[in-house]
Amino acid sequence: MSIQPPASPDRPGGFAALREAEARLSTRLYLKRGVQLVRGEGARVWDSEGREYIDCVSGHGVANLGHAVPEVTAAIAEQAQRLVSCPELFYNDRRGELLALLDAITPPHLTRFFLCNSGTEAVEAAIKFARLATGRLDVLAFMQSFHGKTQGALSLTWTPEYRKPFEPLLLHARFAPFNKPQALAEALTDQTAAAIVEVVQGEGGVRPATTEFLQALQAGCRDRGALLIVDEVQTGFGRTGRLFASEHAGLEPDLVCLAKSLAGGLPMGAVALTEAIDAKLFPRAHSSTFGGNPLACAAAVAAIRYLLDRQLPARAAELGERFLTALRGLKSPLIREVRGLGLLAAIELKARSRDYLEALMEEGVLALAAGPTVIRYLPPLVIEPAQLDLVVEKTAKVLGQPSRA
């Protein structure tokens, strides 16, 4: 049987035919926007009609380094020609290189690493590790949290719209108010295996945690013998102006979940954990076929080196400050609040954000939602100051006001 593809991007009309095929064949799970992205470079992407956009979606925070980074693509190409798959049944040179790098960049007390393929998988693994290590079942999460959509992670994700249709989920998941240190004494019990927290709640509306809250959470966990899991899936790798967001509050988490930009755009997740937790794991208690594959490891090594060599966390701090200040200077009556840390930034509107996101796209800026009334910006950390200024200008335009007061 010979199967003909519906079209080729290289032939006339090819893009349109392939877009139609995707619209017809993909599930209804994703609410797609009406453009077909085909190419990227730095902080810019292009659609199939040749229109250019400043990309403040960055693949939902994956493209911290921007698109088509020569160092990363070369590492992927080189590894693809050498060895793509190698399960953890065997040692692999690239995996060893990545583990050594993760060991060097994470806090000194985190000395073991589990490799997987996504953020939700990192959260699943962290929950299992915490339960094994403590012998307890309860996991505490926070209101407005987002930790993923597989069944375990979903049970720790606040949004009832995502969670309720699938209940009962993981039993023993509890939610406490975010940023309310006074609520922790009751929320943490001697049955709590772990508390899981985002230093800046991303999907839940870009809400930074206060240092007071995070410190109280850490102290409460220690008091109760519970473990602290910090979900750095969105905040990690420089996004908030530090390599890891937990550094802002001086946290020493027992487990850290990583994913998104870890491998420069290839799918990869990881959990960093302590020696003491690792000592409670047993062979085959958890595993992943693709986890730690050499291709993703090679990409991650190249991506992390690039991030460090160019000091992108510091760049995110500096540009983030400039960006947030400019957004706070906008005088539109539509704006309820501007929030963020580093280059994880958002405007909460007094109206639904969907039409404004569409309008921004018309103006050549891609941004995303974080709840119904939020415009969220996740630009690559390599974005040029002039490009960020243009994002502010276009935002001012769509919110109906001149860019500066």
User: Which residues are near ligand PLP by CB under 6 A?
Assistant: 60, 118-120, 123, 146-148, 198, 202-203, 231, 233-234, 259
Q: Which residue is nearest to ligand PLP (CB)?
A: 119
Listing DSSP states for 252-312 in one string gives: --SEEEE-GGGBBTB--EEEEEEHHHHTT--TTSS--SSTT-HHHHHHHHHHHHHHHHTTH
3-state secondary structure 209-231: CCHHHHHHHHHHHHHHCCEEEEE
Query: Whose Cβ is closer to ligand PLP: residue 148's or residue 371's?
Result: 148
Query: Whose Cβ is closer to ligand PLP: residue 288's or residue 387's?
Result: 288
| Shortest Cβ 146–ligand PLP spacing (Å) | 5
- C-alpha 205: how far from its chain's center? 13
Query: Whose Cβ is closer to ligand PLP: residue 94's or residue 147's?
Result: 147
Contact partners, residue 375, CB within 8 Å, separation at least 6? 346, 347, 349, 353, 356, 357, 360, 367, 368, 369, 395
Q: Which of 223, 300, 220 is nearest to 260 (CA)?
A: 300
Query: Whose Cβ is closer to ligand PLP: residue 194's or residue 398's?
Result: 194
Query: Whose Cβ is closer to ligand PLP: residue 146's or residue 178's?
Result: 146
d(CA 264, CA 260): 8
d(CA 111, CA 275): 6
| Shortest Cβ 119–ligand PLP spacing (Å) | 2
Query: Whose Cβ is closer to ligand PLP: residue 233's or residue 272's?
Result: 233
| Shortest Cβ 13–ligand PLP spacing (Å) | 33
Query: Whose Cβ is closer to ligand PLP: residue 344's or residue 399's?
Result: 344
φ, ψ (nearest 5 deg) of residue 209? -75, 150
Measured CA to CA in angstroms, residue 254 lies from 58, 117, 133, 279, 366 at distances of 29, 21, 11, 13, 36
| Shortest Cβ 179–ligand PLP spacing (Å) | 16
| Shortest Cβ 352–ligand PLP spacing (Å) | 21
Query: Whose Cβ is closer to ligand PLP: residue 259's or residue 335's?
Result: 259
CB 188 within 8 A of CB 177: no
| Shortest Cβ 261–ligand PLP spacing (Å) | 11
| Shortest Cβ 201–ligand PLP spacing (Å) | 8
| Shortest Cβ 269–ligand PLP spacing (Å) | 7
d(CA 57, CA 64): 10
φ, ψ (nearest 5 deg) of residue 263? -110, 35
Residue with tokens 């997987």: 116
Query: Whose Cβ is closer to ligand PLP: residue 122's or residue 312's?
Result: 122
153: number of CA atoms within 13 Å, CB side?
18
| Shortest Cβ 251–ligand PLP spacing (Å) | 15
